[in-house]
Amino acid sequence: MALDIESEPEEDQSDVSDEEGDLDADDIPDTEPPPFHDERRFQPFVQHYPDQRAGAPIPQPDGLVPDAADNSTKNPCTPFSDWTSWDFAWWAKNENISTSSITRLLKINGLVKRLGLSYSNANELNKFIDNQLPSPHPQFSREEFVLNGHTYELYHRDPVECIRTLWGNRELTPHLIFRPERHYKDADCTDRIYHDMHSAKWWWATQKAIDKDSPGGTVVPLLISTDKTTLTTIGGKPAYPMYMTAANFPKEIRRKPSRHAQVLLGYLPATSLHHITCEASRRRAVSNLFHACVNRIMDSLKDAGRDGVELQSGDGVWRRCHPIFATFVGDYPEQLLVTCVKKGECPSCIIPWYEVGEDIAGYEFRDLEDILAALEAITQGPTKFSQKCTNAGIKPVQHPFWEELPYSHVYRSITPDILHQLYQGFIKHLVEWLKMAYGEIQLDARCRCLPPNHNIRLFLNGISHLQRITGREHSQITSILFGLIIDLPLLNQHSPRRLLRAVRAILDFTFLAQYPLHSSSTLDALDDALLRFHENKNIFVDLGIRQQFQIPKIHALEHYSYYIQLYGTTDNYNTEYTERLHIDLTKQAYRSTNFKDELPQMTCWLVRREKMVYHKATINWRLAGRYKPSIAQHPSIGILYERFQKIAKHPSRKSVPISTLVTRYGAMHFEHALACFLVSRQRPTLPWNHVVRQARHFDLSDYTFDIFHFIKFTSVDPYRNLTNDQIVDSIHVKPARRDKYKHIVPARFDTALIDRGNNLDGISRYRVGRVRTVFSLSDELLEDHLPEVPDDFPSHFAYVELFTPFPASPEPDHDLYRIKPELQNGLPIGRVVPINNICRSVHLFPKFGPVVPPNWTSSNVLDRANMFFVNTFSDRDMYCTLEN
């Protein structure tokens, strides 16, 4: 039973009416403007799924016993005897301490008695956890598969029961999504937007397909991922975990391991079958073993997906849920393994291998019905079976796991992969091509002279000799890559124009592909970036770097726009998040074993860990009054979250005189700039030339100032309504100093984006300035010069040296804005501004010229260079600010 997405026309209004042909009130998009709207975050105009029965509660199924009342009374830690017993157990199981170390600690004379523990060694603690704590997830089962006389172990658990646990998690219940929606930017419903999976096309089409058979179901879209990893650094002992999550939880929650919305389904056999000497036979055997194991794991989804299963959410409400295999998240080899497609081909569409990597329009997805028909030929003998599979474009695999899964289309489930396709794929190739085009020496020299910034990693030894580069490092290289080549001549005297355009297109695509919200305009920009690359890519052929572009990961970029519309934005299914799970659910589990027959020990460790996490959540629930969770309103959506400025409560330096600000901080015109600021505050309507004239009569040399060395910016967690402790940006304003080893640490005065505060739109609203000092005004100075301070008067200020305004348009070919320090009589122009006008840090690319001057370094380049390009690619916030 395959799902036909193509039969779901976007503008067909016949699918938004109910059975009587009328629209419900909830089906009509809002006609009032959204209550919160700006360029980046807003409440969308929502078109709800028309059938109100979709995702609706059902009566408690007959024969099911209501949940037993919680039996804890005065002791929230029950079954632990007291808080000490629980806290010690939590510490012992979360600090990666060996069982022998815990036992030796508890053997200290009198410790167990003094602490009042109900266990005296690690084994007793483990037995207590095994027998007394409830398990949130089902236990692991072990099965054996025999292939050519060799036995392989599969450890797995039932995905339906795992879904039941996730669905009933009280902490996740408020954020559950039960039915699809269509979201729009405008009330006319012409500009559709995509973010979480419920706002995309697949969920709506799947809900319709289920409603045709049995109305009133709730779709549970499952995201399945597999990826081999190594358990040991030396020797590379492999493991093959398989993970699962449900798109009913928002992507912001799913991608955070601390929210426990991902679950380990099992460990597949991690063998490469090297005992099979014939390579073709070995590949077939590996495919058949993989699909046999996954088929066993997914077996319960066949009936549950078709007929539905009753699930109770954490608020006690029951629904008939249909767990449906929606997407597979994995690297290219895993995608080929899942889809049974040959290496070098696209796992999704029918495109000849020799056209892979070209800009080919009108490709068609593989026909699942034809492939299923070919798989039915397995009863006709191996020769006939192999021939029909070959004709259908797949390898002859016996009973792929997706063969009988309802409402699924495996060839449309292979989603984009930012980590492996872009960073470890396209960007990795691009870096190597640029090394060949420009030479490693000049690229590394420029790396060493880039100024520091919070969002930029400085590769002070260059990028040419990096080994085993991770996806994170490729992401960091992406942020500086353009600055390394922007005015660098090619080695063979070719014009760099086409190369700059090609690189700019790749970087644009990389940033746009990671947007957490897409609309028609951003998808058009995404497609345009890819088109620009194809138009200019032959420069690499002309330079002798490439002969062709038959790289499957480049071809995969053609599908990004389609899949974003189908499943939502790429942060719904990026393998970067499952890579992080390897640490928590595989590597840490392995380190807890004695490294012999590790899988039984790993699964046991994981079950105990899950029990402890679940019990901690239960304790918090008891302490909070045994509340009944309710479904929360979803927060506003957008490309970015709001930022909040933070500054230290206490100054870094107190009572600093102006002379020190001039000599150590480089604030050359601090006194005059502050005097101008005070005059403009006293007389706001005074023309600026008169302000400058009156400021000359101020004498501020006797005052001192409290100085701050950092401005920091934080974001929010929209699903916990808490300010996030993670610093998303910061500005350093620190003079030179000596560290504890008496080594000189160079001064650092960062550049920042300053809001001019004159109600301008676009980039003209901002100026770039170098922050030399962050300070507060003393009460004495305010009494002398601003006796009537308004209530909204700022508490902190910054002295900044301005750069020239942004030009009307960026430079051609590379589309970066060029600026330079604004000078008067050869000295930088300084201004005092409230720090509230400082929006964020800015990273600048120096204009190096053909050769990097030998006296330039990372710490002095802002002082020595006289021309800069504003780095659009330092982070997503900066990209959105400069490009929108």
How confident is the model over 650-660, as pLDDT tens digits? Answer: 999 999 999 99
The model's confidence at residue 437, banded by pLDDT at 50, 70 and 90, is very high
Question: Is residue 324 over pLDDT 50?
Answer: yes
**Quick one: residue 465, left, alpha or beta (phi over 0 = left, psi -120 to 50 = alpha)?**
alpha
The model's confidence at residue 634, banded by pLDDT at 50, 70 and 90, is confident
Question: Is residue 11 over pLDDT 50?
Answer: no
DSSP characters over 453-471: BTTB---TT-STT--S--H
- For 813-862, write each residue's pLDDT tens digit: 899 999 999 998 888 999 999 999 999 999 999 999 999 999 999 999 99
SS3 830: strand
71-81 average pLDDT score: 84
Q: With contact defined as beta carbons under 8 Å apart, do 736 and 746 qualify?
A: yes
Question: Is residue 700 over pLDDT 50?
Answer: yes
Q: Which residue has the tokens 């960073």?
A: 423
The model's confidence at residue 1, banded by pLDDT at 50, 70 and 90, is low
The model's confidence at residue 459, banded by pLDDT at 50, 70 and 90, is very high
564-592 average pLDDT score: 91
> Of residues 788 and 743, which shows the higher confidence score?
743
Return the minimum-mean-pLDDT range out of 523-532, 666-675, 785-794. Answer: 785-794
Return the minimum-mean-pLDDT range out of 30-39, 116-125, 199-208, 748-757. Answer: 30-39
668-673 average pLDDT score: 94
Q: Which two tokens stand for residue 586?
A: 């595989």
- The span from the CA of 810 to the CA of 832, in Å, is 28
Q: What is the pLDDT of residue 333?
A: 94
Question: Is residue 63 over pLDDT 70?
Answer: no
586-591 average pLDDT score: 92
Q: What is the pLDDT of residue 64?
A: 59
778-807 average pLDDT score: 91
329-356 average pLDDT score: 93
Q: What is the mean pLDDT of the chain?
A: 90
Q: What is the pLDDT of residue 68?
A: 54
CA distances (Å), 203 to each of 2, 55, 173, 322, 487, in order?
14, 12, 20, 12, 48
> Of residues 753 and 147, which shows the higher confidence score?
753
Q: What is the pLDDT of residue 14?
A: 37
- The span from the CA of 735 to the CA of 740, in Å, is 16
> Of residues 244 and 256, which shows the higher confidence score?
244
Question: Is residue 24 over pLDDT 50?
Answer: no
Return the minimum-mean-pLDDT range out of 10-24, 381-395, 842-856. Answer: 10-24
159-185 average pLDDT score: 95
- The span from the CA of 806 to the CA of 719, in Å, is 37
614-628 average pLDDT score: 91
Q: Which residue has the tokens 């390394």?
A: 484
- The span from the CA of 346 to the CA of 378, in Å, is 24
Return the minimum-mean-pLDDT range out of 238-252, 348-362, 820-834. Answer: 348-362
The model's confidence at residue 247, banded by pLDDT at 50, 70 and 90, is very high
For residue 84, with 0-12 CB atoms within 10 Å meaning exposed, 13-18 middle and 19 or more buried, which class applies?
middle
Question: Is residue 38 over pLDDT 50?
Answer: no
Question: Is residue 790 over pLDDT 50?
Answer: yes
Neighbours of 686 (CB within 10 A): 13
- For 717-753, write each residue's pLDDT tens digit: 777 655 456 789 999 999 999 988 989 999 999 999 9
> Of residues 449 and 698, which shows the higher confidence score?
449
Q: Which two tokens stand for residue 684?
A: 């706001």
Q: With contact defined as beta carbons under 8 Å apart, do 530 and 507 qualify?
A: no
> Of residues 634 and 6, which shows the higher confidence score?
634
483-491 average pLDDT score: 91
Neighbours of 546 (CB within 10 A): 18
Q: Residue type for 160, please?
A: V
Peptide bond into 396 cis (omega under 30): no
Q: Calculate helix-pair angle for 471-485, 497-513, nearest 10 degrees.
A: 150
Question: In terms of Cα–Cα distance, which of 537, 564, 575, 255 is closest to 421?
Answer: 575
The model's confidence at residue 84, banded by pLDDT at 50, 70 and 90, is very high
- The span from the CA of 380 to the CA of 368, in Å, is 20
Alpha helices in 52-110 (DSSP H): 83-94, 99-106
Question: In terms of Cα–Cα distance, which of 543, 540, 458, 473 is closest to 505?
Answer: 540
Q: Which two tokens stand for residue 501?
A: 């355009």
Q: What is the pLDDT of residue 653?
A: 96
Q: What percent of the chain has pLDDT over 70?
A: 93
User: What's the distance, CA 414 to chain centroid?
Assistant: 18
Question: b/e map of 615-653 (b: 16 or more CB within 10 Å)?
Answer: bebbbebbeeeeeebeeeebbbbbbbbeeebeeeeebeb
Q: Calculate helix-pair angle for 520-536, 560-567, nearest 10 degrees.
A: 160
User: What's the distance, CA 57 to chain centroid?
Assistant: 33
Measured over the CA atoms of residue 421, residue 423, residue 429 and residue 433, the dihedral's sign is positive
- The span from the CA of 195 to the CA of 515, in Å, is 9
Q: What is the pLDDT of residue 642?
A: 81
β-bridge partners, 729:
713
Q: Residue type for 422, please?
A: L
DSSP characters over 360-371: --S-EE--HHHH
SS3 749: strand
Q: What is the pLDDT of residue 358?
A: 84
CA distances (Å), 18 to each of 22, 50, 214, 450, 656, in order?
6, 6, 15, 60, 72
Q: Which residue has the tokens 């080549």?
A: 485
Q: What is the pLDDT of residue 685?
A: 87
The model's confidence at residue 133, banded by pLDDT at 50, 70 and 90, is very high
Question: Is residue 127 over pLDDT 50?
Answer: yes
Q: Which residue has the tokens 């059938």?
A: 51
- The span from the CA of 552 to the CA of 554, in Å, is 5
Q: What is the pLDDT of residue 668?
A: 93
Q: With contact defined as beta carbons under 8 Å apart, do 205 and 5 qualify?
A: yes
β-bridge partners, 771:
800
Q: With contact defined as beta carbons under 8 Å apart, do 686 and 706 qualify?
A: no
Q: What is the pLDDT of residue 12?
A: 43
Segment holding 173, helix H or strand E: none
Return the minimum-mean-pLDDT range out of 602-616, 626-640, 828-842. Answer: 626-640
Neighbours of 277 (CB within 10 A): 7
Q: What is the pLDDT of residue 28?
A: 30
580-599 average pLDDT score: 91
DSSP characters over 743-811: PEEPPEE-EEEEE--S---GGGGEEEEEEEEEEE--HHHHHHH-SS--TT--S-EEEEEEBPPPPSSPP
Question: In terms of Cα–Cα distance, which of 321, 328, 307 is closest to 400?
Answer: 328
- The span from the CA of 71 to the CA of 78, in Å, is 8
- The span from the CA of 309 to the CA of 311, in Å, is 6
Beta-sheet strand order (sheet of 710-717)? 644-646, 710-717, 722-734, 748-749
449-474 average pLDDT score: 94
Residues 6+ apart with CB under 8 A from 671: 658, 698, 700, 701
Question: In terms of Cα–Cα distance, which of 3, 741, 753, 20 is closest to 372?
Answer: 3
Residues 6+ apart with CB under 8 A from 98: 592
Q: What is the pLDDT of residue 2?
A: 56
The model's confidence at residue 33, banded by pLDDT at 50, 70 and 90, is very low
Segment holding 612, helix H or strand E: helix 598-623
Question: Is residue 584 over pLDDT 50?
Answer: yes
- The span from the CA of 25 to the CA of 46, in Å, is 12
Q: What is the pLDDT of residue 722?
A: 52
75-104 average pLDDT score: 92
Return the minimum-mean-pLDDT range out of 33-47, 248-262, 674-688. Answer: 33-47
The model's confidence at residue 393, banded by pLDDT at 50, 70 and 90, is very high
User: What's the distance, CA 423 to chain centroid?
Assistant: 13
Rg of the chain over CA atoms, in angstroms? 31
Number of helices (H) and strands (E), helices first, in the chain? 28, 35
Q: What is the pLDDT of residue 165?
A: 95
> Of residues 359 and 209, which shows the higher confidence score?
209
Phi, psi values for residue 110, rounded to 5°: 85, -5
Q: With contact defined as beta carbons under 8 Å apart, do 211 and 576 qualify?
A: no
Q: What is the pLDDT of residue 3?
A: 58
Q: What is the pLDDT of residue 36?
A: 32
- Note the pTM of the prediction, 2 decimals: 0.92
Neighbours of 307 (CB within 10 A): 13
Q: What is the pLDDT of residue 631?
A: 84
> Of residues 5 and 383, which shows the higher confidence score?
383
Residues 6+ apart with CB under 8 A from 344: 353, 356, 550, 552
Question: Is residue 16 over pLDDT 90?
Answer: no
For 687-763, strand residue ranges (E) read 704-708, 710-717, 722-734, 737-738, 744-745, 748-749, 751-755
Q: Residue type for 221, please?
A: P
- The span from the CA of 52 to the CA of 216, in Å, is 8
Question: Is residue 541 over pLDDT 90?
Answer: yes
Strands 45-48 and 181-184: antiparallel
